[in-house]
Amino acid sequence: MFEEITLKIKMLLCLIKVIGRRHFVTKYAYFMWVFPFEAIELIVDLFLWFFFMQALGGGTAFRAKYGIDPIAYLITGIVVIRFLNYNVGNIYFILKNLYYSGYITAIQRLSIADYLSLSNISIGFWVLGQIIWDYTRIAIISLLYITVGYIALGTSYSLTLSSFAYALLAFALGIAATIGLGLISASIYLYTGVHRGTEPIQWTMKLLSKIASGLYFPIDVLPETLQYFSLLLPHTYTLKAIREALLLSASTSILVADLCILGIQATVLAPLGYILFTRALFKRIKLGPRL
């Protein structure tokens, strides 16, 4: 059992290494020619928000009402949502690339998924490897974002051990819940075999996360009907708990409700997503391709 797990971890690490190497080579040395430009764009975005805030009076009213620095509020929101929305949307795209590579100029060919299967590399492992590699990229960009906010814009966070631990727990639960959503969305692609058009789950989640999750502004400014949507989103609870922990050093009694709801969402969505995804994968090889 232990040997099997070690072997699987080794295989996963090897896969991440290959995916990273592939990324470096095929994207013309990503960190050399893509990353600096992405980073500059992000820093400009950050200053855009800062100047916007200055134009609206420096965020004094926001600070007075919520007791939080508005720029720190935004940075936390943008960084966390980047991870959560990646989970919701990108598993579908990873799979689409794996299988859609099997169709070109109206003829059927062996897809990347077929090649992986022939070499006994599990599709689930490939997806996980891609996710971990992409997380590394998002983490580096997020770190840059936070650093620029801290150095240039004077944002600060309460980094006590307990606040950090709570934020990390909320983040982990949020990731689990959104990966569940991402897997459900990806299984829809596998069930229908259709790769074009809007995928309803990720479209809805991304749309709602922009307006109803509290990403740019607290949800209490929204009309009551929209606030109901906020209650359904894992994004809302993740953002709220992380901000309360890192920006307000909230106590356990304040955080526990959000963490519990997030825990329930993660417990339901992650296994549901996994079951649907593995069943869809099995169905895919049972039924074969569908043009």
Partner 1 sequence: MDIYEKTIEVINLYKFYEYPIVSKLPGPYQLPSAIVKYFFEKQRRKYITALSNINFTADKHDCLLVLGPNGSGKTTLLKILAGLMLPSKGTVKILGRKLEENLSFIRSKVALISSLTTGCALFDPFISVEQNLSLISELLRIDYNKVLEFIELLEVDEYLSYKFGALSTGTAARVILALNLAKPAEIYLFDEPTEALSPEGRELFKRILLKLKQDQKTVIYATHHPQELADVFNKVLLLINGKIVFNGTIQDFLNEAFKGKDAYIEIEFYKEIKDNILEKIDLPEKDYTGTSLIIYTNILKAHLYLNKLFSHIKVDYIKSVRIIPRSLEEAYLTYIRRR
> Which residues contact partner 1 (rule: CB under 8 A)?
15, 18, 21-22, 25-26, 101-102, 104, 107-112, 114-121, 188-189, 191-200, 285-291
- Which CB, 90 or 111, lies closer to partner 1? 111
In whole angstroms, the minimum distance from the beta carbon of 11 to partner 1 comes to 9
* Amino acid code (one letter) for 26: T
- Which CB, 102 or 263, lies closer to partner 1? 102
Residue 202, beta-bridge partner list: none
- Which CB, 77 or 129, lies closer to partner 1? 129
Residue 229, beta-bridge partner list: none
- Which CB, 195 or 206, lies closer to partner 1? 195
- Which CB, 117 or 227, lies closer to partner 1? 117
In whole angstroms, the minimum distance from the beta carbon of 286 to partner 1 comes to 5
Residue 30 to residue 20: CA distance in whole angstroms: 10
* Amino acid code (one letter) for 92: Y
In whole angstroms, the minimum distance from the beta carbon of 195 to partner 1 comes to 8
- Which CB, 67 or 290, lies closer to partner 1? 290
Residue 16 to residue 197: CA distance in whole angstroms: 30
In whole angstroms, the minimum distance from the beta carbon of 204 to partner 1 comes to 12
Which pairing describes strands 103-104 and 107-108: parallel, antiparallel, or unpaired? antiparallel
- Which CB, 112 or 141, lies closer to partner 1? 112
Residue 16 to residue 10: CA distance in whole angstroms: 10
In whole angstroms, the minimum distance from the beta carbon of 16 to partner 1 comes to 11
Is the Cβ–Cβ distance between 182 and 92 less than 8 Å? yes
Residue 176 to residue 271: CA distance in whole angstroms: 9
Residue 140 to residue 264: CA distance in whole angstroms: 30
In whole angstroms, the minimum distance from the beta carbon of 17 to partner 1 comes to 8
Q: What's the first-to-final CA gap in the chain, in angstroms?
A: 40
- Which CB, 145 or 189, lies closer to partner 1? 189
In whole angstroms, the minimum distance from the beta carbon of 88 to partner 1 comes to 15
Is the Cβ–Cβ distance between 116 and 98 less than 8 Å? yes
In whole angstroms, the minimum distance from the beta carbon of 115 to partner 1 comes to 6
Q: Which of 207, 211, 239, 241 is nearest to 226 (CA)?
A: 211
DSSP state string for 91-144? HHHHHHHHHHTTEETTEE---HHHHHHHTT--HHHHHHHHHHHHHHHHHHHHHH
CA 92 to chain centre: 12
